[in-house]
Structure 1
Amino acid sequence: MKILVIHQVPYRKMSYHLGLDHERHDVTYIGYPQRMADLPAGLRCRRIVLTEGEDLVEGVTARTRADDGYEKVLSLSEFGILEAWHVRRHLGLDGPSLEQIERVRDKVSMKRALADSGIRYPRFEEAPAPCDALPWTGRTVIKPRQGASSEGVTVHDTAREALTAYWKLENRFDVQLEEYVDGDILHIDGLVSDGAVVDMVVSKYINKPVEYLAGAPLGSHQIPDPGGRFHTFAQQVVTALGVDSGCLHLEVFDTAEGELVFLEVANRMGGAGVVNAHLRHTGVHLPSHEIALRLGLERPAADRPTGRYHGWLAVPGHHLHPAAGHTITVPDALRRHPGIDALYVLADDQPLPDHVTYHEWLVPVFIEASHGDPQELEAFLRACARSITVEPAPAARPVTAGG
């Protein structure tokens, strides 16, 4: 099979070789220089490097033709799904329709598609008129219609305050207003095969993704699904949105009353520590299995599960001055804890990240942990979130008034 891979996610996250036999298939990778540089040197493939800053679709279509013989286009990034649709059209290949793609990328389209499903979702407004009030009064979220990692999301105490902030935005046509929902935030990860949710795992966030933007640690830990309550909900969402194949990353509120409320969904693998945690808990390497599903290949054999619940915690640094010389403190008791599976600590001479990221090799501290009891795992990760600190270099600390 001749396959064109739009390479956007770091190779160490994807490990394409685990799900794609490069000796058997004719594989071409195309992408920007920094990403293409992380392809293993010995990987049997063709490599096409785009110009930095070049439009992705224009760059790919300028370097490929319908008669090149490509049979499949593979793009597993949140930011490449729509672009891959344009590339498939250019090459004359079948794939998900534009409407299907919008239902798993655009936060307004996905909620509209749930309107008659019986699934609860937050009330929202995509384009209020200048004199309109919102149909709710309490806490309100402004968020981009597309995107990931909660970038651009703001929370306001009242609907009136949110509207005031909305009308000051230059890009307000690219955002929506949404009522705030109280409750734990869960993420449900797995695969969709012929419209059925399989190999699914439920995890509960430690802190909220939007809080990570302001500098709070973010993590999650796996929890059981007694009676299949979460699986039933995930299947209802997948069916209502017409998701047919690939990875599923579904975020859901679990309210104090025990009601599940849809937050958003993506037809791709989860970020941060999701892939490793999923692999250890289920034996299923999500990227490899998604590759097989997308290409119509036989799914790889699963590894042996650990029999434990797994989780992760990322301590951010993007909100601090990026200069090197920072001080990271991880208490010795945490370093020696038997629940630690992996601990990544940024070296003092490495700069802090200057953008929002969850990659373990970029953030100041990243922890992978596990335990036989999900409550004990949660308690440990929360202790880590409370006790690990990151201080910027002294010269980078902000000057206070009179100081």
Structure 2
Amino acid sequence: MNIIIINRWEDKFADYEKMIDHSENTVIYLTNNSGEKYLKNITSDHIHYLLSDLNDVDALVEILTMIKRKLGQIDRIIALSEYDIKTAGILRSQFNIRGMNEKVSRNFTNKFEMKHALQNTDLLFPKNTKDVKDIRSKLLEFPLVIKPCEGAASENVCIVKDQSSFEDIYSRLEDPSLYEFEEYVAGPIYHVDGLKNKNVMQFMCISRYINTCYEYEVSRKPLGSVLINDRDLYKRVEKMVLAALNALGMSIGVFHLEFILKNNDLVFLEVGARQGGGEIVPLIKKVFSIDLVECLLRCQMLECVDDVKEKRNFSSGGFLLFPEPLKEPVKVKKVVNFSYLETLNYAIVPKVGQILDGNGGYYFNAGRFMFSGDKASVKREMQVVLENYEVEYE
């Protein structure tokens, strides 16, 4: 086959060379400068096009037109990042390539269109609008959430408490048409990660967040989650997730869905057609022996995933992420060590003398911790790290 891979990751988070036979297929990489770094470590034959912006659809169309003219056809497009899913859908539709098309990919990447696609279902989700007149006429009550229709990790999200705060933030939006205004729903937030295989849930697990992505981004609070073992909740959530994915048009694929538990009701928040961020992928691999990145790639290759089976190695697990400080850049002076903890699988922390510049996100931050073991021990030792982890800075 002739396979196009859109890659913006510099590390081996997705080891394409291992998962796709480069000798049996013609593999074409489309990367930005960051994604190009991954290619420096592979030895297999491949074709490479470097773009300054992977979101430049016109440039991508021009390259695919040239590739199709040379090779005759394009069989698959692989795009594993949240930021490339919609682009890949546009390209598949335009060049008649099998896989998730433009309409479905927009349902999973545009939060306003996502909720519009759920309107004829029984699912609960926050009321939302793109029309500022609805806010000024009080069709939505405060507090409410202003969020980009597209994006991830709570970037550029604001929670506003009153009309004056809303008007102040709204006046500073560069392009208000790119935002939606959403009802604020209070309650603990959960994430669901898994693999949908046609009309069945091939694999699924539920985790409860410790703090929120918004607090990590805005208030610089630690972010984490811990796996939940609750059979009754699992049945209810599985039904909700399948209904949501079916309504959005996913036949087969990996998903990362978030919901709020409000007065014991499941309130759908949003969903991505890809693996979760943070330490979700390595945690699921450790606890369940399932690699969701590999599963996503196989789904985009349109391969059968009937053989993906859960093998539970531990009863529980979780992770913690510590953000960089609000005032940056800073130089690391001292880092607390937790090597004595029994359930701690790894701790990736900054080195003494390292500079943190505030652009680390979930990966190059002030500390990443992953735990696995029995439920009580995991919960206890995660709390030890939450209460005692500290980085001293210059």
Aligned counterpart for 2:231 among listed residues 208, 226, 230: 226
- Equivalences for 1:311-326 in 2 at 5 Å? 311-317=318-324, 319-323=326-330, 325-326=331-332
Q: CA deviation at 1:159?
A: 5.3
Deviations 1:48-93 (CA, angstroms, capped at 9, x unpaired): 1414357543443333332323211111111111211333345442
* Alignment-derived partner of residue 274 in structure 1: 280
Say if 1:81 and 1:346 are closer, same or farther in 2 by CA, change over 3 A. same
Q: 8 Å contact 2:211–2:221 — kept in the other structure?
A: yes
Secondary structure of the residue aligned to 1:103 is helix
- Equivalences for 1:2-401 in 2 at 5 Å? 2-39=2-39, 41-53=41-53, 56-64=56-64, 65=66, 66-67=68-69, 68=71, 69-89=73-93, 91-129=95-133, 132-158=136-162, 161-213=165-217, 214-227=219-232, 228-255=235-262, 257-299=263-305, 304-317=311-324, 319-323=326-330, 325-330=331-336, 332=337, 334-355=338-359, 357-359=361-363, 362-373=364-375, 376-393=377-394
Q: Which runs of 5+ in 1 are unaligned?
A: 394-403
Larger deviation: 305-314 or 161-170? 161-170
Give TM-score, length-normalised by structure 1: 0.88
Q: Which runs of 5+ in 2 are unaligned?
A: none
Q: Percent identity?
A: 23
The 2-side partners of 1:195 and 1:36 are apart by 37
Q: 8 Å contact 1:248–1:265 — kept in the other structure?
A: yes
Deviations 1:268-325 (CA, angstroms, capped at 9, x unpaired): 11111111111122211111112112212244665843133221111111633124x2
The 1-side partners of 2:390 and 2:47 are apart by 41
> Partner letter of residue 315 of structure 1?
F
Q: CA deviation at 1:229?
A: 2.0
Q: CA RMSD, aligned part only?
A: 2.4
Larger deviation: 382-391 or 72-81? 382-391
> Partner letter of residue 291 of structure 2?
H
> Partner letter of residue 103 of structure 1?
N
Aligned residues: 386
The 2-side partners of 1:188 and 1:23 are apart by 36
Secondary structure of the residue aligned to 1:13 is coil
Say if 1:71 and 1:51 are closer, same or farther in 2 by CA, change over 3 A. closer
Say if 1:380 and 1:134 are closer, same or farther in 2 by CA, change over 3 A. farther
Q: 8 Å contact 1:320–1:392 — kept in the other structure?
A: no
> Partner letter of residue 335 of structure 2?
T
Deviations 1:84-122 (CA, angstroms, capped at 9, x unpaired): 133334544233332212211111111111112111111
Say if 1:337 and 1:238 are closer, same or farther in 2 by CA, change over 3 A. same
The 1-side partners of 2:203 and 2:299 are apart by 13
> Partner letter of residue 231 of structure 1?
E
The 1-side partners of 2:23 and 2:379 are apart by 43
Larger deviation: 152-161 or 2-11? 152-161
Q: CA deviation at 1:125?
A: 2.1
